[in-house]
Structure 1
Amino acid sequence: MKSVTPGRMERVLGPTEQVFYKVRQQRPFNVVITARLSGGVSEARVREALPAIQRRHPLLRANIPPRSPPRFSRANVPEIPLQVVPRESADSWLAQVQQQINAPFDASRGPLARFVLVQGDSHSELICGYDHLIGDALSGCFVLRDLLKAMEPGSNGPPPPLQDRPAYEDLIGPPLPGTGVLNTVVSRGSSVLMRASPVLNRLSARLDSTPETPAEEVRSGFAYRRVEPALTERLLALCRENKSSLHGLLGAALLVARTESLAPRKKPVITITSALDARERFGVGEDFGLYTTGKTHLMRLKAQEERWELSRRLRAPLVAARKQPLHLRTFRSAIEMSSRSVDIAAQPWMQRCTRLGLDSMLGLSNLGRLNLNARYGDLTLEGVNFSGSVASHFDIVLASATFAQHMDISFLYNPPLMAPEMAERIASRTLEVLNEAAR
Structure 2
Amino acid sequence: MMVERIMYVDSKTPVNCVFTVKINGVISEDHFKIALDKIQRKHPLLRAYIDHKNAKYPFFVEENDILPIPLRIVERKTDQDWLSESENEWYRIFEDPKKPLVQIVWVKGSAVSEILWVMPHSICDGTTGINLLRELCSLLDDPSAELGSYQTFSSVDDFLPADFNLKKNQRKARLYLIMAKLFFFIQSKSKKRNSGKNYALHRKLDTVISKKIVDKCKVNGISVHSLLCAAFMEAFKEFQGKKAKGKVISPVDVRNFIPEIKQDHIFAFAPTVELSLKKGQNLLENAQQIKKDLVEKIGKTEARELLWMGENMHPVVDRMISLLKSGKGGHDITLSNMGKIDIPNEYKNFKLETIYSPTVAFPWLNSNTLVVTTYNQQMDFTFMSNEDFLPKEDAKKIKDKAIELLTS
Alignment-mate amino acid for residue 143 of structure 1: L
Matched, 1:162 2:150: yes
The amino acid across from 1:315 in the alignment is K
**More divergent stretch after superposition (400-409 vs 39-48):** 39-48
TM-score computed with the length of structure 1 as normaliser: 0.81
Alignment correspondent of 1:20: 7
C-alpha distance in 2, partners of 1:420/1:169? Answer: 43
Match among 257, 260, 276 for residue 281 of structure 1: 257
Partner of 2:95: 106
Q: Deviations over 1:157-205 (max 9, x none)?
A: 3421233234457425558834321354157548x84xx99xx54xx56
Aligned to 1:182: 175
- Residue in structure 2 matched with residue 4 of structure 1 by the alignment: none
Q: Sequence identity of aligned pairs in percent?
A: 23
User: In the superposition, relative to structure 1, how do residues 268 and 396 fare at CA in structure 2: closer, same or farther (>3 Å)?
Assistant: closer
CA deviations on 1:212-260 (whole Å, 9 max, x unpaired) are 447xx66632111111112222222322222211111111121111111
Which letter does structure 1 place at the counterpart of 2:393?
E
Which residue type is aligned with residue 328 of structure 1?
A
Q: Is the 8 A contact 2:230 2:290 kept in 1?
A: yes
Do the aligned partners of 2:16 and 2:118 also contact (CA within 8 Å) in 1?
A: yes
Q: Deviations over 1:128-148 (max 9, x none)?
A: 010111110111111111111
CA distance in 1, matches of 2:319, 2:291: 32
Q: Distance in 2 between matches of 1:113 and 1:251?
A: 31
Give the match for residue 206 of structure 2: 228
Amino acid at match of 2:210: T
Structure 2 CA distance, aligned partners of 1:348 and 1:290? 21
Q: Deviations over 1:19-64 (max 9, x none)?
A: 323x244632121110111111243332232111111111111112
Contact 2:221 2:288 in 1 (8 A): yes
C-alpha separation between the residues in 1 aligned to 2:146 and 2:402?
Answer: 38
Q: 1:250 aligns with which of 228, 238, 242?
A: 228
The answer to whether 1:67 aligns with 2:54 is: yes
Question: Gapped runs of 5+ residues in structure 1?
Answer: 1-13, 206-211
Which amino acid in the other structure matches residue 19 of structure 1?
I
Q: Secondary structure at the match of 1:380?
A: strand
Partner amino acid, structure 1, of 2:178:
V
Q: Give yes or no for contact 1:363–1:394 (8 Å, CA) kept in 2.
A: no
Partner residue of 1:429 out of 396, 401, 405:
401
CA distance in 1, matches of 2:244, 2:398: 16
Question: What is the CA-CA distance between 1:99 and the residue it aligns to?
Answer: 1.2
SS at match of 1:63: strand
Note if contact 1:102-1:219 (Cα within 8 Å) is conserved in structure 2: no
Match among 284, 287, 302 for residue 327 of structure 1: 302
RMSD: 2.8
Is residue 2:347 matched to residue 1:376? yes
2:25 maps to what in 1?
39
Residue 393 to residue 166, structure 1, CA distance change in 2 (3 Å): farther
- Per the TM alignment, residue 306 of structure 1 is displaced from its structure 2 partner at its CA by 2.1
* 1:420 alignment partner, one of 369, 392, 400: 392
Q: Is the 8 Å Cα contact of residues 344 and 350 (structure 1) preserved in structure 2?
A: no
Residues in 2 aligned to 1:364 and 1:371: alpha-carbon distance in whole angstroms: 20
Distance in 1, Cα, partners of 2:233 & 2:12: 28
Equivalent-residue separation in structure 2 for 1:78 and 1:417 (angstroms) = 39
**Aligned counterparts of 1:316 and 1:336: Cα–Cα separation in 2:** 31
Deviation sequence 1:239-282 (CA, Å, 0-9, x none): 222221111111112111111121x44x8433310010121433
Q: Any conservation in 2 of the 1:37–1:124 contact (CA below 8 Å)?
A: yes
Q: Secondary structure at the match of 2:150?
A: coil
Answering whether residue 239 of structure 2 is matched by residue 261 of structure 1, we say yes
Q: Distance in 2 between matches of 1:272 and 1:183?
A: 25
The DSSP-based 3-state class of the residue aligned with 2:382 is: strand
Which of 346, 358, 363 is 2:334 aligned to? 363
Residue 359 of structure 2 aligns with an amino acid whose one-letter code is: S
Q: Structure 2 regions of 5+ residues with no counterpart?
A: none
* 2-structure distance, mates of 1:375, 1:83: 25
> Secondary structure of the residue that 1:331 maps to in structure 2?
helix
2:273 aligned partner = 295
Q: Does 1:237 align with 2:195?
A: no
The match for 2:316 among 334, 337, 341 is 341
